[in-house]
Structure 1
Amino acid sequence: MNIKIPFAFAILTAALMGCSSHQPKVEKIKPNPLPKLVQAKQLVPVFSTSVSATAENDPLRLQMATDNNMLFAVDPKGTVEAFQNNKRVWATQTTKKQGLSAGVVAGQGIVVAGNQKGELFGLDQQTGQIKWTSQLSAPIIAPSHIQLGRVITVSNDGNVYAHDAQTGQQLWVYHLPSVEFSLRGQAAPIALDPNNVLVATANGYVYGIDVITGVARLQRQVSVAEGRTDVARLNDVVGDPVMMGQFLVTAGYQGQLTVNDLEQQRVVWSQDVSSSKRPEVTQKAVYATTTDGKILAYDLITGEKLWENTQLLHRNLSNPVMLGSDLVVGDLDGVLNLVDPSTGNLIGRSKTKGDITSLRVIDGQLYVSTQKGALSVWQNR
């Protein structure tokens, strides 16, 4: 049996390890207060809308997407919306009884989202009409990926599906190795190269799968499990992996931040870093946020630690992203923290509403999603 546990529960369980029956209370760790900033930079909001909130202890992987000068958003109660020039163009209810739990992604004329029942929906970008629906074997809790006319989706039981982007026909399914105990989370598939998709798993491995045939071309371990208990051995790669040229960068929960050189088939470096978020990678550096709220920077080639910021400890940090020349990290209070990527110093902040669950940079703009359903787009001044 495959047991999925929410990330917040895993943290609490780990904190309880070693406590005796005479110590039943676990004091909640207070988040660090935000430090005062002098002449703080701010971001400029360019779009905002609101959708329904998700559960505080298990926020969903809901994100915005853009394609063909349109912006697409998803509501956890089941609606997919399209905006153009900040005006709603259409809104489509996918199902009446089952909300959406993952998405949205857009490309090749369609918009794709999935739900807890394992239903995958492909909608026409221009009209919002549901072009096709497909039933998968388990809940869909990570956004899909569109490549070479295929929609690649990972269900929560470890099956990787490919569907025809236009018709929804299932073309192949690849069965990943199952694990008995893992976080309730799943990294989204990404492009490994023009012909292959990369999928990270709960057992600390990544797989490169041919988009057309469904044949695995690559298998590599990127995180090693340690510890005596099931919780202590959790090393899920739930943060999306990142490709930078020939380098594959992954971060694992209670595992390692690892850079692999896929051309030379070797590990370039690995650091003990616990993270459930996608790292940010530039041509020179790797940036990561840890489960306890540190922001770390490492040299991409050598693995040398460049700096460490501990000012935002226990603030439930989001994935870091580069917006222009600034590194941006969201937190539990909806604060977008601007960081100098060369020093790690906090240099500015802006504010939205709710625990920030997803940051994406698309065409030089910052796309923000929060647990309370505040969706917004920002840019530098």
Structure 2
Amino acid sequence: MARHHRGWHAWRRSLLLTMLLTGLTGCSLWGGGASRPQPAELGPNVPVLGVRQAWSAHLGSATGAPLVPHVQETTVTLAGADGTLVAIDARTGAEVWRTHIDGALAAGIGSDGRWTAVVSRNNDVVVLDEGREQWRQRVAAQTYTPPLVAGGRVFVLAADRTVMAFDAQTGQRLWSQARPGEPLVLRQPGVLIAVKDTLVAGLSGRLVGLSPDTGAVRWEAPLASPRGTNDVERLVELVAPISRVGESVCARAFQAAVGCVDTDRAAVLWTQKSNGSEGLDGDSAALYGVESDGTVTSWRRADGSRAWSSLRLQYRKLTAPLLLGRSVVIGDDTGLVHLLSREDGTPLNRLSTDGSGIAATPVAVADTLIVVTRKGSVYGFRPD
């Protein structure tokens, strides 16, 4: 174990140095060419919880990395980086609609059930109505966070930490709120959600409450502050997904901390140091997350104390977790989907896909667990 521990830290230092020398404008701890320690052996699969594959579908050939799936009632909408968009009925796996927009995609999907919004790599915000493109508007900076569609508006969080609002029907820009920050940004989704009548965005380690009508700042709550001596070490972006229960919003600050905020009082309830790069899920009792070395951790939501940690998936590249029934569901970069007990992290089942790696955090809709692979395969699983 000590040898693995030393190997992990040497690999991480090598990767940070690589990012500094190449001058990346965004980073992911598992990117780059540095090798990582050997993943822990999984052992035989013992299916304590019965799960079967109910259906499968496909985004299309040469799709590129699929983006964040969006769930609306019984429909899941998926997008590939090549511009393919597909809405699937999660009950049957049947396509509701499919379209292709011009230009590769960088962020998506946001939807209110009618309007669907994505952002292209050319910085175009593109809005569709039931699969038909309605308008597109160019913004000044790249965007990696799915737009939020709510109240007849499309909200966009750009990588330069500018938040914008557009009229969903016409594309007219309603307001823009700029926020300076550190020079490096993450090429992964950040935080942009609606909490009651407030738009909440993750900006440089803070949850910030904005007026959805004007963009005016209502409150700020810091979860992490810049630290270290270089731009990489000072990066403190908040990453998606988050866990919201009522007024409690809990989030992860990249490679720094996890914490919870009472959005009614704009008060930080607690923070705990945590070295992870993927978001969280949870309920009123507990939060679940993965560290960058593959450790799966549960924290008590009330005070942030650690409930349990599991090393069973150590040194695997993991997605953020999905809390589903008695399970914590996590995908890895070999295409496996792990179901762990929410009580103590023990394995309940292990599901196979096409072996290309799970591309996004699993989602659940219509009693169906949905996972998407890097090849664009879509799988629907249900309990036996």
Q: Identify whether the pair has TM-score above 0.5, normalized to the shorter chain.
A: yes
Compute the displacement of 1:160 (Å): 1.2
Compute the displacement of 1:69 (Å): 4.6
The residue number in structure 1 matching 2:109 is 104
Please state if 1:158 is matched with 2:165. no
Could you list the runs of 5+ residues in structure 2 that have no partner in the other structure? 1-22
1:35 to 35, 40, 43: 43
Compute the displacement of 1:360 (Å): 2.0
The residue number in structure 1 matching 2:77 is 72
The residue number in structure 1 matching 2:93 is 86
Please state if 1:167 is matched with 2:174. no
Compute the displacement of 1:341 (Å): 0.6
Alignment of 1:189-200 (within 5 A): 189-193=192-196, 195-200=197-202
Compute the displacement of 1:155 (Å): 1.8
1:63 to 57, 61, 68: 68
**How many Å separate the matches in 1 of 2:168 and 2:238?**
27
**How many Å separate the matches in 2 of 1:355 and 1:197?**
33
Alignment of 1:297-316 (within 5 A): 297-316=298-317
**How many Å separate the matches in 2 of 1:260 and 1:271?**
12
Q: Is the 8 A contact 1:297 1:307 kept in 2?
A: yes
Q: Is the 8 A contact 1:108 1:149 kept in 2?
A: no
The residue number in structure 2 matching 1:21 is none
Could you list the runs of 5+ residues in structure 1 that have no partner in the other structure? 13-25
Q: Is the 8 A contact 2:319 2:361 kept in 1?
A: yes
**How many Å separate the matches in 2 of 1:79 and 1:325?**
34
**How many Å separate the matches in 2 of 1:178 and 1:3?**
16
Q: Is the 8 A contact 1:249 1:260 kept in 2?
A: yes
The residue number in structure 1 matching 2:27 is 6
Q: What is the RMSD computed on CA atoms of the aligned residues?
A: 2.4
Q: Is the 8 A contact 1:199 1:206 kept in 2?
A: yes
The residue number in structure 2 matching 1:44 is 52
**How many Å separate the matches in 1 of 2:180 and 2:41?**
42
Compute the displacement of 1:53 (Å): 5.6
Compute the displacement of 1:42 (Å): 4.2
**Cα–Cα, structure 1 residues 380 and 285, in superposed 2: closer, same or farther, change >3 Å?**
same
Q: Is the 8 A contact 2:239 2:251 kept in 1?
A: no
Q: Is the 8 A contact 1:140 1:155 kept in 2?
A: yes
Query: Number of residues paired by the alignment?
Result: 357
> Percent same amino acid among aligned pairs?
24
**How many Å separate the matches in 1 of 2:272 and 2:50?**
33
Compute the displacement of 1:374 (Å): 2.0
Q: Is the 8 A contact 1:42 1:350 kept in 2?
A: no
The residue number in structure 1 matching 2:349 is 348
**Cα–Cα, structure 1 residues 90 and 295, in superposed 2: closer, same or farther, change >3 Å?**
same
**How many Å separate the matches in 2 of 1:162 and 1:298?**
35
**How many Å separate the matches in 2 of 1:265 and 1:107?**
27
The residue number in structure 1 matching 2:374 is 371
Compute the displacement of 1:44 (Å): 2.6
**Cα–Cα, structure 1 residues 340 and 70, in superposed 2: closer, same or farther, change >3 Å?**
closer
Deviations 1:171-215 (A, max 9, x none): 11111223212332341411122x1111113x2112111112221
**Cα–Cα, structure 1 residues 34 and 65, in superposed 2: closer, same or farther, change >3 Å?**
same
SS of structure 2 residue aligned to 1:269? strand
SS of structure 2 residue aligned to 1:143? coil
The residue number in structure 2 matching 1:280 is 281
Deviations 1:136-195 (A, max 9, x none): 1122222111121111111222221211222222211111223212332341411122x1
**More moved, 274-283 vs 287-296:** 274-283
Equivalent position amino acid for 1:165 in 2: A
Alignment of 1:211-226 (within 5 A): 211-226=212-227
**Cα–Cα, structure 1 residues 230 and 65, in superposed 2: closer, same or farther, change >3 Å?**
closer
Equivalent position amino acid for 1:109 in 2: R
Please state if 1:135 is matched with 2:138. yes
Q: Is the 8 A contact 1:334 1:370 kept in 2?
A: yes
Q: Is the 8 A contact 2:242 2:281 kept in 1?
A: no
**Cα–Cα, structure 1 residues 101 and 376, in superposed 2: closer, same or farther, change >3 Å?**
farther
**Cα–Cα, structure 1 residues 196 and 42, in superposed 2: closer, same or farther, change >3 Å?**
same
**How many Å separate the matches in 1 of 2:316 and 2:221?**
32
Deviations 1:324-346 (A, max 9, x none): 22111111111111111111111
